[in-house]
Amino acid sequence: MSFAELGLIPELLQAVADAGYTEPTPIQQQAIPVILSGLDVMGGAQTGTGKTAGFTLPLLQRLARHANTSASPARHPVRALILAPTRELAMQVFESVAGYGCHLNLRAVCIYGGVDMNAQIQELRRGAEIVIATPGRLLDHVQQKTVHFSQVEVLVLDEADRMLDMGFIPDIRRILELLPTQRQSLLFSATFSEEIRKLADRMLKNPKLIEVARRNTVSETITHIVHPVSAGMKRNLLAFLLRNQPDMQVLVFVDTKIGCSRLSHFLTRNDVSADAIHGDKTQQQRTETLDAFKEGRLRVLVATDVAARGLDIDDLPCVINYELPHTAEDYIHRIGRTGRAGNKGRAVSLVSPEEKHWLAEIQKLIKFDIPLEPVPGFEPETPEHAHGHGRHHAETHAGRPSTSSKAAKRTPRPSRAAATPKIAADGFDFSKPYEPSSAKAILQTTPHDRTPFKPQRPLAALLGGLGKK
């Protein structure tokens, strides 16, 4: 099927050709005709499916019917509102709108928090048919009366499940109350929980359900691995795994902003090109880091769930969960960055005994057990080891398993497992004997990553072997 067959106007067909797309993706094939017909849509689609063009192209076509060539701001009222959960996602949607709309006489503005409001006010004053916004900042503008919704014809709620996770639902309800009831509404979400359905009931009228991937399922091209490891040894194991695959670009997920910064500093100190992206970074820092990662200048991007949400990163061969997400559905979101479009991907999780209940939740959701692959020298202690000499946990060089009892004597630091032997004892079957010889073998075959990272494309071809003996 071609884009022309979907009924798009020449200006949009030209933009799609400019972007180099030859064929609509499945979500585009389904969504574009339905949205063009004016119906409401409840769309089940993850990032990476082409959903942004799926709603942006028909939205632009609808607005183009009455586009105004006048320069007067009054002639360019807000006619479409697109809500996105994060600044990054809002910016990405804005870029798509600007790109696909480049042959049309429509204006767009991107509104998000964390930056001065004045520049946004100036842009709104100039007039814009399309406002792409995060909910909190949009309400700030509502309060200051710098944005008006009386002419809104189309509302898009992107990544509704993440809006819910981030506590934006009350904000969205407030925004809904300000919009004309006569409008077309589109809601997109990777998953459909009860709360999302309730929101959809309130927001959509007789929606057409469009789903491209089955709910709560993961791509079949992803290989899942769990490396059992004590919490205290995780960063060393991570450095070790990264050294084992010096050419692989990796997105690493951590739970907290502080953990995110610390881990990226630790990796940098250990000669791994890494940077962090989280909510405390300025917009400019986040954009620069993301660009560096996308362009391959940065090898490891350490991110929190919130910051990574919706990031449009192609061709990622591997995602590492440094800590397991506390919501099983976030596991699906995180690893959705790999194994895209039929490419192979790896989802690696470093799991401490304390995290086993989260692992159980994830396995319940994805409906299979993830294979456990202990890495020699990094296995968590068994109960009897936990009371002993802490040989496994002697931290010598980061990213190297401890092989020397001398080193262990220098750093008799008790591991978290040692402090909580009951939890560890209740964990996985970690009873494999410690074998220094196999750990040594890994050390000898592991090149030190001192050379600058040079990505080799396609990155997906570099798969395999991460952490394997």
- Closest by Cα among 113, 121, 53 to 87: 113
How near is the Cβ of 111 to ligand AMP at its closest, in Å?
Answer: 20
Q: Out of 123, 211, 312, 395, which residue is the one contacting ligand AMP (CB under 6 A)?
A: 312
| Total binding residues toward ligand AMP, as defined by CB under 6 A | 14
Closest residue to ligand AMP, Cβ-based?
52
| Residue 29 found at the interface with ligand AMP (CB under 6 A) | no
| Residue 52 found at the interface with ligand AMP (CB under 6 A) | yes
How near is the Cβ of 211 to ligand AMP at its closest, in Å?
Answer: 14
| Interacting span for ligand AMP (CB under 6 A) from 22-30, 173-181, 197-205, 453-461 | 22-30
How near is the Cβ of 322 to ligand AMP at its closest, in Å?
Answer: 24
Q: For residues 316-375, which are near ligand AMP according to CB under 6 A?
A: none
Angle in degrees, CA 23, 24, 30, rounded to 5: 150
Distances, alpha carbon 421 to alpha carbons 232, 349, 358, 415, 432, in Å: 14, 22, 19, 10, 16
| Residue 86 found at the interface with ligand AMP (CB under 6 A) | no
| Interacting span for ligand AMP (CB under 6 A) from 45-53, 101-109, 218-226, 239-247 | 45-53
C-beta of 3 vs 430, nearer to ligand AMP: 3
| Interacting span for ligand AMP (CB under 6 A) from 49-57, 183-191, 248-256, 448-456 | 49-57
| Interacting span for ligand AMP (CB under 6 A) from 48-56, 204-212, 259-267, 285-293 | 48-56
| Residue 44 found at the interface with ligand AMP (CB under 6 A) | no
Q: For residues 404-463, which are near ligand AMP according to CB under 6 A?
A: none
Say if CB 407 and CB 394 are below 8 A apart: yes
Q: Using CA atoms, how far apart are residues 39 and 57, in angstroms rounded to an integer?
A: 15
Q: Out of 44, 50, 58, 377, which residue is the one contacting ligand AMP (CB under 6 A)?
A: 50
Instruction: Reduce the DSSP state of residue 348 to 3 states and report it.
Output: strand
Angle between helices 87-100 and 10-18 (to 10 degrees): 120
- Closest by Cα among 85, 79, 66, 64 to 15: 64
How near is the Cβ of 47 to ligand AMP at its closest, in Å?
Answer: 5
| Residue 53 found at the interface with ligand AMP (CB under 6 A) | yes
Phi, psi of 394 (to 5 degrees): -65, 120
Burial of 146 (0-12, 13-18, 19+ CB in 10 A): middle
Q: Enter the tokens of residue 109.
A: 């503005």
C-beta of 315 vs 354, nearer to ligand AMP: 315
Say if CB 120 and CB 109 are below 8 A apart: yes
| Residue 51 found at the interface with ligand AMP (CB under 6 A) | yes
Sketch the per residue contact string, 234 through 273, with ligand AMP: x for CB under 6 A, - otherwise. Answer: ----------------------------------------
What does 3-69 look like in DSSP terms, one character per residue? TGGGT--HHHHHHHHHTT--S--HHHHHHHHHHHTT--EEEE--TTSSHHHHHHHHHHHHHHTT---
C-beta of 25 vs 321, nearer to ligand AMP: 25
| Residue 47 found at the interface with ligand AMP (CB under 6 A) | yes
| Residue 24 found at the interface with ligand AMP (CB under 6 A) | yes
| Residue 48 found at the interface with ligand AMP (CB under 6 A) | yes
C-beta of 103 vs 294, nearer to ligand AMP: 294
By residue count, the chain amounts to 469
| Residue 25 found at the interface with ligand AMP (CB under 6 A) | yes
Distances, alpha carbon 1 to alpha carbons 43, 129, 469, in Å: 20, 30, 46
C-beta of 258 vs 341, nearer to ligand AMP: 341
C-beta of 24 vs 325, nearer to ligand AMP: 24
How near is the Cβ of 30 to ligand AMP at its closest, in Å?
Answer: 13
Sheet of 250-253: strands edge to edge?
222-228, 345-351, 318-321, 250-253, 300-303, 274-277
Q: Using CA atoms, how far apart are residues 157 and 176, in angstroms rounded to an integer?
A: 11
C-beta of 291 vs 314, nearer to ligand AMP: 314
How near is the Cβ of 45 to ligand AMP at its closest, in Å?
Answer: 7
Q: Using CA atoms, how far apart are residues 330 and 255, in angstroms rounded to an integer?
A: 11
Say if CB 456 and CB 462 are below 8 A apart: yes
C-beta of 16 vs 300, nearer to ligand AMP: 16
Instruction: Reduce the DSSP state of residue 334 to 3 states and report it.
Output: helix
C-beta of 46 vs 349, nearer to ligand AMP: 46
Beta strand pairing call for 222-228 and 80-83: unpaired
**Would you tell me which residues interact with ligand AMP (CB under 6 A)?**
21, 23-25, 28, 47-53, 312, 314
